[in-house]
Structures are given as structure tokens and as C-alpha cells.
Structure 1
Amino acid sequence: MKAIWKGTVVAESDDTVIVEGNHYFPAEAVKPQYLLPSNTRTMCSWKGEARYHTLFVDGDANPDAAWYYPAPKEAAANIQGRIAFWKGVQVVE
């Protein structure tokens, strides 16, 4: 699977975990040069607290387009150490 934004592959892996229709990529499969930390936090009742990254590609920012659960609840343990995308990021085979 590949995560693509603005024509740039920001993540690529054959090992994604699908939860609620979202592909969670291993953190090491995401290219760190495209991630900027964000202060945004959200809470999911069964996964726990999500934290976000802004994607930054060729001078363009996509705020909070990547998210992860640093300490997911037990029910979501399979996404520990993984990052997912939204906000116009295409995930394709």
C-alpha cells in the first residue's frame, strides 16, 4: 500500500492494519521528512487518545492529515506504532 499526497509517496508498506476503513502504516514506513508535529489531540472511546502530524510536501501543508495512537487502549493494540492518513491523502495498492 502507498499513501500519496500531492503526487508524493509519503508512506509505503505491504504491512498495513485496517481499522474502520483506514490503513495504518508501520511508523518506519512513513517518510519522516514529510511529517511536522501538531498539537492536535482527539479522543476515541475504544482506541484512546490520537495525536496528529501535519503533512508538508513541496512547500504545501496539510494540517493534521496523519494520526496515530501513542498508547492505544487494549482493544486497539494492533495499531500501536502505526500511522494513518486522511484529508485528501490517497491510499492505494
Structure 2
Amino acid sequence: MTTATWNGTVVAESDDVVVVEGNAYFPRESVREDVLRPSATHTTCPWKGRASYFSLEVDGRTNPDAAWYYPEPEDAAR
């Protein structure tokens, strides 16, 4: 099982993780909803598409834009 932690707390865990360019992508359902906070940040990758972000909040501490996803990934990134 692969886990993602921040501030000493597990924020995601799954056996179905995909690693792309050194980044672990967890299935959305494996990420704890209670630690995610919406972010207005967006970036664009030429081959993955437009990324949207979440900040993490654990025990009153915030890690801005720590998690991202591609709502409509380009074909090469599917």
C-alpha cells in the first residue's frame, strides 16, 4: 500500500497509484476529503492538460496547492 502523508497524518493511501515524472497520482476516492481545501490555482502541462489544485489542511496547518489533478486530461495522459 502506498501512502501520502503531511504534517504526520496520512492524507491518501492506495494500492492503485500511478507514478508520472516522479509524482504519485492516487485515485480520487483514496484521498481524504476532510483534509482537502479548494484552491483557485491552475497550471497547464503541454501533454497532461490543465491542472486544478487543492491545499491540504491538517491540525490547523495549511500546505498550499499541495495536491493537484487533471479534470480533463489530454489523451496522452489518460
In the alignment, which residue of structure 2 is the partner of 1:38?
39
Kindly report which structure 2 residues correspond to 1:1-93, keeping only aligned pairs within 5 A, or say none.
1-77=2-78
For 1:47 and 1:13, the matched residues in 2 are separated by: 22
Taking only the aligned residue pairs, the percentage that are identical comes to 62
Task: Count the aligned residue pairs.
Answer: 77
Listed as ranges, the gaps of 5+ residues in structure 1 are 78-93
Deviation of 1:27 after TM superposition, in Å, equals 0.3
Deviations 1:51-93 (A, max 9, x none): 000000000000000000000000001xxxxxxxxxxxxxxxx
For 2:35 and 2:7, the matched residues in 1 are separated by: 12
For 2:62 and 2:69, the matched residues in 1 are separated by: 18
- TM-score of the two chains, using structure 1 as the length reference: 0.82
SS of residue paired to 1:33: helix
Listed as ranges, the gaps of 5+ residues in structure 2 are none
CA RMSD of aligned residues (A): 0.4
Structure 1's consecutive aligned runs of 4 or more residues displaced over 2 angstroms after TM superposition are none
Greater length-normalized contact order (CA 8 Å, ≥ 6 residues apart): 1
